Structure 1
Amino acid sequence: MGFSLFEGFTKSLAMTIVSEIGDSTFFAAAILAMRHPRRLVLSGCLMALIVMTVLSVLVGWAAPNLIPRKWTHHITTLLFLGFGIWSLWEGFTEEGDAEELAEVEAKLDADLKANTGATKNGSKVDDDLKKQRRQFLTHFFSPIFLKAFSITFFGEWGDRSQIATIGLAADENPYGVVLGGIIGQALCTIAAVLGGKSLASQISEKMVAICGGILFLVFGVHSLLSTARES
């Protein structure tokens, strides 16, 4: 139990860090932290990532109860090998390290302009209605918190790291996976928020993708050589 917990923890921690560093949600957190209070951005992003990690682990933990563990083990192996090849391909064919950063920044800028234009064009009655509808949420949560939470949550939904977490939880100790995932997400998010845009612009996406690909391949080979644990 102790070793399986440690193995699940270390795999999840390493996988999360190499998957999230330089990811679109990492860049989004860094850019948001340049424009809004860091504590609100950090709390919103962290909350979204913790919820996403727990949900992913729950799905992975339930999978062996619906599908034979032998099959979940094989699926996890294929996922790791496939993600490893995919990440290496992205690393060696990446055209520019700042491409995703610029894309995320442009998207956030367009979103900000659209919201500003909508506010200017709206009537006072519409503004009052919007305030009444949001009164309950904004009483407990800042709009910046909700924005950081929603951008991060939906940005991570269906992402490679989420699918890998599901596969890892189906084959490893789920408590170790969720603990490693949360700590890894926290480290990456804190680095993005505190380091800001300057840190994001200095990260070599190519090197991160190559390291992530190698790590996924190592996990895949290890899973291929090991036997599926008995229920």
Structure 2
Amino acid sequence: MDDFFVATAIATGVVVAAELGDKSQLMALTFATRYRPAVVLAAVAVATALLNLASVLLGAAVGSALPTTAVGVVAGLLFVGFGVWTLRPGAEEGGAQEEDGPARAGRSAFVTVLVSFLLAELGDKTMLATITLAARDAGLAQVAGTWLGATIGMVVASALAIVVGAYVGTRLPERAVRLGAGALFVLLGLWLLVETLVLG
């Protein structure tokens, strides 16, 4: 049991440190200006849990074979497209929520955040760090601890950004939030494309 807690603590610390100031925090902050913080956090938690489960199960050998270039390009284009969609006239969130109802709007937001995080984080340094930690500690307790710790680390780092995003979203006019969020999504998309095609 000690191995489990040690692995959890190490993975949590590594992921929190890796995510501070990373694009994942900026994504969480941006989504929190548009959607309810609880929905964003839940989607981030599910996406992170799924990715980390894949990371610890696949191991370092399979991880190196991931088509990270293709995934990075798709994720970058997705964010640019989402940014343009957010910037379009009449993209205010309030009207769509009233027409479709809060339950449907919540599901739509959850799926949007979930898919975005899955694509953006697939092959990212956090996933590779989790694979490395899991490959180093091959025992079941260590692998389970690594999965839990990496998931907790990402959720903690994202929660910090979501709090800021929710605060900004309620303090600024809706038009300013929409324009700012759209611009951030476009920048995130360009960042992902440059990171994948130029720096990768």
- Higher-Rg member (1/2): 1
User: 1:51 aligned to 2:22?
Assistant: no
Matched, 1:145 2:114: no
Aligned with 1:142: secondary structure?
Answer: helix
Task: State the match for 1:187 in structure 2.
Answer: 156
1:43 shift after superposition: 1.4
| Separation of aligned partners in 2, 1:188 and 1:111 | 23
For this pair of structures, how many residues does the alignment match? 141
Give the ranges of 4+ consecutive aligned residues of structure 1 lying more than 6 Å apart after TM superposition: 138-141
Residues 126-153 of structure 1, C-alpha deviation per residue, up to 9 Å, x if partnerless? xxxxxxxxxxxx9697111111111111
2:119 paired residue among 154, 163, 166: 154
- Distance in 1 (alpha carbons) for counterparts of 2:151 and 2:13: 11
Q: CA 1:59/1:119 → structure 2, altered by over 3 Å: closer, same or farther? A: farther
The one-letter code of the counterpart of 1:18 is A
AA of the residue aligned to 1:162: M
Measured on the aligned residues, the alpha-carbon RMSD in Å equals 3.5
Query: Percent identical across equivalent pairs?
Result: 23
The correspondence of residues 1-231 of structure 1 with structure 2, limited to 5 A, is 2-60=1-59, 111-114=82-85, 142-172=107-137, 173-196=142-165
Letter in 1 for 2:121: E
How many angstroms apart in 1 are the aligned matches of 2:125 and 2:115? 18
Distance 1:145-1:52 versus aligned 2 partners, 3 A rule: same
TM-score when normalising by structure 2: 0.59
Shift of 1:186: 1.7
Q: Which runs of 5+ in 2 are unaligned?
A: 65-75, 92-102, 169-200
Match of 2:97 in 1: none
For 1:118 and 1:187, the matched residues in 2 are separated by: 34
* Aligned mates of 1:196, 1:115 — CA distance in 2: 16
Contact map agreement 2:37 2:166 (CA 8 A) in 1: no
Contact 1:54 1:178 in 2 (8 A): yes
Structure 2 distance, partners of 1:157, 1:18, is 18
What TM-score do the two structures reach when normalised by structure 1?
0.52
Counterparts in 2 of 1:118 and 1:149: CA distance versus 1, 3 Å: farther
Q: Check 1:197–1:18 CA distance in 2 against 1; reply closer, same or farther (3 A cut).
A: farther
Contact 2:32 2:165 in 1 (8 A): yes
